[in-house]
Structure 1
């Protein structure tokens, strides 16, 4: 067995096991004391086995690294819940004193500051804060603060909002990954005072260079082009107009707006050009490079992408200075390890994953792809090979996080990268010369502005290729792992011609087929063994929307809320591509508008709804999509029973004269063994009375309360027949109707029903095995 010292890329192996440990740390809940003891025992075992030169040493070292990853995550969780954490003072009136670590402008009307709290005063008790930073959001008309300012704030601290629906963006998790645990907004501030200045003087001096650079750009280039140039050079992406950001994002070119190794490389190129012109020794140029990169990291406020790229180049310069043989994969892995040791949550940031994976992919695939493209000019072949390699590696990550993939970057990078290179190059030189005189900066930035105008013109032209951008649902973890495994395995197939080199590829092909079959078996086997009905009442604000996943694998939707994107985004983010059955309770916008995009972009097999009483634009659009996509649909006028696997759907419609449009709602009762759920749409008391009179069995464990808890529904007679153990009210926070009605809640409490509301709990997830049900914790 090879020792680590004999491996070509030992740091890559260490990185893989450290990453696996961090992932396990987020999935399992263990007492940190248990992990610490395990870590110590493993370390002792490693020392003993190493001393006796045992063959097991390597295995134990890898287990040690795995435990270290788990320990890192658990340690941060202990800090987060610690009595010295800022999270212990949320939702309380406190006085905070802390220091500004960084500042940024978020749009035209708001500034954001990262604050490191020193202490919190609560009820005349002073508590020292050791863990957690605070995000402070202020209106732009307030006094502007800078790095090092010490602030005293009387306020109420809150936790950042979490995701409303499964798979959605969690601002709390996003900030927690940056070790920002709490939030202060304008609404919670009573008083804010500047108490003095602090901070590192060297950092302050470097940040003044940033301010000077911004001033030079602002004075020498017109808007909005100055915003784009500041984004390219200083990482001020937030200032770039949203329309431009959206254009880059939709074309899959938003990576160009993020500072990366490309920027660092241009800086070093400029420095080396000056050094060669002045005939300076190489070691002086290297020292200058180390200083320049360190300063640039601070100027860009330590953005993770700059730190990643900067560390790689710093280590490369150090290695070349001492004449060390450098393996780029090893170097990249070492930088990734260093960053994960600082903050293990970097692993879950898309930028971290994409930057490292794309670089690995270019190193691994680019030479092979370039050889395959040898029939075209070398410079085009190189650009195309790099672009293809990057897209192949980035594909599953882009789909996983953004539900979108585009073929445009393959061509776009070839057209856009030369322009971006020239813009950044001219911009850097302009900022440097601008410190001598603005005239020099003006001359160069005139060129930069012309290049930016051309760049935006190219971007507008590429928008015509939007048909090359595809929306895809979130892939399963196993499919992502399978994709990268096959990408690694089939490099040899694209390296050689398959027929003459079949014997060389035979083993790889056999292994690949076996792995494919194993993944398919695992995915399909899970659905075969599953006996759970999953029901999610989505938080769509003031509206209704529910999703059901049946034990046999079918996906059902009942209503879709008012927001046209909410339901579609939920499906994309949870890997749901096919809808077996869609039920529209009635054609009010707060129930059906969110389903229109689902009908347009997903495979829907059958749609059920009552006959619409008003043929408005929304109704016409629904029927237009149903017709264009040839989706089967049925209008329910009285009663229909539908069986899907072991689940029975009993669908009722009021057969009397409908005067009030809410009474046109379908009522859906779902039976799964001894478990029942009743959906009532917006049906009023007249419909409820009719159902009771007809003797329909309404008893249900779960009731989706009618009309968002309005007093026009949920009569005492009706509730006495349903007898729900749990009542779910889909209602928006601070809604203008002041729902749910207090009388409805009183009636539910009187029959012994528990009440959950989406405005308080966000999405409500319920599971049942047909015998009993339970609420799933977030």
Structure 2
């Protein structure tokens, strides 16, 4: 398969002759246009003033066109004035008819419609609302304008829904972050409501076409999560669909530390891969020009499907420009001209796009490739020719160009922006790109095949998913490894003045090196490679990798109990010697829980035999909603609660009902046979007289396997413990999972003496705001001689047993909590 980067690299070995000023019009005019938008944001000038400058200057540019530099200078000034006029014209005019006019009003009612795809993370949803009516002080008035609403994730509110909101209306600065407030305002969101009362009035509104596109996106996302474990599914969803909201926090941090976020932000690289793949598929069936039109249509449809972000639109326009010039006009397109054309069209539609960091980084990376990759690769070719034999030169030049030169060229212009915006420098970025970038076309190809197959026929997705899992697993492993190297990410800040100075030096260097040189681009979309050999190597490597993974992850005949590190919450995964699974609680953050399940379950296993929700608190059940929606669940055991104050438990019951999962209220004394010799006995539920509140109503269960016994107590506190002691139920266990995350109200001295555990395991979030575990509880555990193991210190803790012996292991060395 050809490299997607090749289509963007100048490869001509000789410089073309100088050309007239028409060649430079798009870049010079584009620079002027962008500069005008930036300048207008700092000058308080009306549209008329900008147009008064633009008209005579443009007339002069037309008259002096053939005077070379003079005509170009006038064209740049005219474009600058027009850019300034466009920015000023885009500014909203504040009036009583605009919702922003009422910022600061309290207890207002707003009627509006969800105008874009909702953004959801683990705990909340962000809705962009197009307001139509505002009620304040008992008076209703029609309004226009957009606002951002932050609300609970559950119940889900879809695009196009008409909602009635009641709460306080604030300006974006109320977020406490001036930079975020400026971002919202540039997005056209001049008002903010934080967790108002929300009533869904109607659904099904908005654009039918956009709603259909979101439906396809949802279908693709569902196919991915049904076929792959986490975090692989979230990473592939980010790569293919531009939605990285499901990535666990530690993996997101690792991508940032290694400077590899461009992999999960759809940009020119992704679009180039798709163009290459579509060209490969359409070449046998369609004429070249017809294929180019079909590819352009599909590229723009894909851009709309993933949300039409700045980098995606830029890349789509750039790719279409290239194809139009090469295939429709019969000549290679001028790459730099196409890039500035894309920037012009995007900022013409929305001038505030200029301040979008993703747009800036994507634009800079692509421009760096165009300016530097060609000349640098030609120098490499000359060096290779001098040092290596003729039969090895093509391979060495190809891999050096595509692994090293392309990475360096893309980073020349992006590193200053990263230092300016984020104040971090990533030395690990170069090795991360060298190791991870080559497999990304394979990730997109196999991942796209998995998504399409699963969307068409759900049973087909998991069948074709293993190769995609392997390439994703390799990518995640590389990023994790490099992010943990000393000095992977260093603090280094560049001021605004420093940014301008660095780019001025780069521009001067480029200008001196490119005097009288006309850039060229490659004409072919394909590069000759030894395709059969490479394909054979890939197939053998994939087969070997999957065989090793299968052997490592299949049942080993032992019991495994993993106390998952899900932050401030509980989640315990039990895997029997025969490979059956029981999940007790699911933590508060779904992405963390799904990530942990992906690490501890076989990559091909998309089922869990039994799930227990010990009680309705969100830190035990919020993560289970996604688990029920993504895995085939054999049954759900609850403490008998039918409703709760937290919406997460209601969402869990609704998900179980929609997926046909049997919900069974636990009964005291009942026994669940998980596997041969593995038994779980229910000791306490909400039916107990001691179940005075949600915590005391927790399901308490005792797991036994040969000589090993574990007591799992949920959030049970002293009253529930006293009830268990009064019932004279056998409690003695080798391992105790401490109740309520090690709170002082749990694990009483009498209860600990009755259980007499060798090990007490506490599941708690690092530096949590509740002070768990409490020092008094730790002292009581020490008094009976028990070893205390904590997830906030060790990460995930796993107990393994053959029924006669026991071993425990930790995810990391103990990191004492301050």
TM-score (normalizing by structure 1): 0.58
The equivalent of 1:84 in structure 2 is: 97
- Does residue 369 of structure 1 match 2:376? yes
CA distance in 2, matches of 1:463, 1:272: 36
Counterpart secondary structure, 1:69: helix
- Going from structure 1 to structure 2, the CA distance change for 1:459 and 1:13 (only over 3 Å counts) comes to same
Contact 1:368 1:494 in 2 (8 A): no
Equivalences for residues 107-146 of structure 1 within 5 A: 107-123=121-137, 125-130=139-144, 132-142=145-155, 144-146=156-158
CA distance in 2, matches of 1:153, 1:490: 56
- Going from structure 1 to structure 2, the CA distance change for 1:174 and 1:219 (only over 3 Å counts) comes to same
Deviates most, 317-326 or 243-252? 317-326
- Does residue 170 of structure 1 match 2:179? yes
Match of residue 67, structure 1, among 77, 81, 85:
81
Counterpart secondary structure, 2:104: coil
Give the C-alpha shift of residue 65 in structure 1: 2.1
Match of residue 27, structure 1, among 42, 62, 71:
42
CA distance in 2, matches of 1:26, 1:346: 13
Give the C-alpha shift of residue 228 in structure 1: 1.3
- Going from structure 1 to structure 2, the CA distance change for 1:353 and 1:41 (only over 3 Å counts) comes to closer
CA distance in 2, matches of 1:52, 1:108: 59
- Going from structure 1 to structure 2, the CA distance change for 1:54 and 1:44 (only over 3 Å counts) comes to farther
Give the C-alpha shift of residue 489 in structure 1: 3.4
- Does residue 395 of structure 1 match 2:415? yes
- Going from structure 1 to structure 2, the CA distance change for 1:312 and 1:494 (only over 3 Å counts) comes to closer
The equivalent of 1:420 in structure 2 is: 440
Contact 1:96 1:117 in 2 (8 A): yes
The equivalent of 2:308 in structure 1 is: 302
Give the C-alpha shift of residue 438 in structure 1: 3.0
- Going from structure 1 to structure 2, the CA distance change for 1:494 and 1:407 (only over 3 Å counts) comes to farther
The equivalent of 2:228 in structure 1 is: 221
CA distance in 1, matches of 2:50, 2:218: 50
Structure with the larger RCO, 1 or 2 (CA within 8 Å, 6+ apart):
2
CA distance in 2, matches of 1:57, 1:7: 10
The equivalent of 2:191 in structure 1 is: 182
Contact 2:226 2:461 in 1 (8 A): no
The equivalent of 2:291 in structure 1 is: 285
CA distance in 2, matches of 1:286, 1:207: 26
- Does residue 482 of structure 1 match 2:501? yes
Counterpart secondary structure, 1:115: strand
Give the C-alpha shift of residue 355 in structure 1: 1.0
- Does residue 158 of structure 1 match 2:170? yes
The equivalent of 1:509 in structure 2 is: none
* Cα deviation digits, residues 525-556 of structure 1 (max 9, x gap): xxxxxxxxxxxxxxxxxxxxxxxxxxxxxxxx
CA distance in 1, matches of 2:153, 2:439: 34
- Does residue 343 of structure 1 match 2:350? yes
Contact 2:224 2:236 in 1 (8 A): yes
Give the C-alpha shift of residue 59 in structure 1: 4.8
- Does residue 14 of structure 1 match 2:29? yes
CA distance in 1, matches of 2:489, 2:513: 25
- Going from structure 1 to structure 2, the CA distance change for 1:58 and 1:458 (only over 3 Å counts) comes to closer
Gaps of 5+ in 1: 497-778
Contact 2:117 2:214 in 1 (8 A): no
- Does residue 448 of structure 1 match 2:461? no
* Cα deviation digits, residues 463-489 of structure 1 (max 9, x gap): 343425331123342x32332232233
Counterpart secondary structure, 1:161: helix
Give the C-alpha shift of residue 330 in structure 1: 0.2
Counterpart secondary structure, 2:483: helix
- Going from structure 1 to structure 2, the CA distance change for 1:197 and 1:13 (only over 3 Å counts) comes to same
CA distance in 2, matches of 1:178, 1:297: 19
TM-score (normalizing by structure 2): 0.55
* Cα deviation digits, residues 687-737 of structure 1 (max 9, x gap): xxxxxxxxxxxxxxxxxxxxxxxxxxxxxxxxxxxxxxxxxxxxxxxxxxx
Length, aligned pairs only: 481
* Cα deviation digits, residues 119-156 of structure 1 (max 9, x gap): 323345544434x42112111223x2222222222332
Equivalences for residues 699-710 of structure 1 within 5 A: none
CA distance in 2, matches of 1:379, 1:213: 34
CA distance in 1, matches of 2:330, 2:111: 49
* Cα deviation digits, residues 638-679 of structure 1 (max 9, x gap): xxxxxxxxxxxxxxxxxxxxxxxxxxxxxxxxxxxxxxxxxx
Contact 1:221 1:449 in 2 (8 A): yes
CA distance in 2, matches of 1:419, 1:7: 40
CA distance in 2, matches of 1:368, 1:52: 33
CA RMSD of aligned residues (A): 2.8
- Going from structure 1 to structure 2, the CA distance change for 1:5 and 1:181 (only over 3 Å counts) comes to farther
CA distance in 1, matches of 2:304, 2:329: 26
Contact 1:39 1:64 in 2 (8 A): no
Equivalences for residues 552-631 of structure 1 within 5 A: none
CA distance in 2, matches of 1:494, 1:465: 37
- Going from structure 1 to structure 2, the CA distance change for 1:98 and 1:66 (only over 3 Å counts) comes to same
Give the C-alpha shift of residue 15 in structure 1: 1.6
Contact 1:207 1:298 in 2 (8 A): no
Match of residue 99, structure 1, among 109, 113, 117:
113
Give the C-alpha shift of residue 368 in structure 1: 2.5
The equivalent of 2:764 in structure 1 is: none
Equivalences for residues 433-512 of structure 1 within 5 A: 433-477=453-497, 479-491=498-510
The equivalent of 1:724 in structure 2 is: none
Contact 1:155 1:191 in 2 (8 A): no
- Does residue 379 of structure 1 match 2:391? no
CA distance in 2, matches of 1:485, 1:345: 23
Contact 2:53 2:81 in 1 (8 A): no
- Going from structure 1 to structure 2, the CA distance change for 1:108 and 1:48 (only over 3 Å counts) comes to closer
CA distance in 2, matches of 1:396, 1:76: 29
- Going from structure 1 to structure 2, the CA distance change for 1:379 and 1:122 (only over 3 Å counts) comes to same
The equivalent of 1:504 in structure 2 is: none
CA distance in 2, matches of 1:494, 1:445: 48
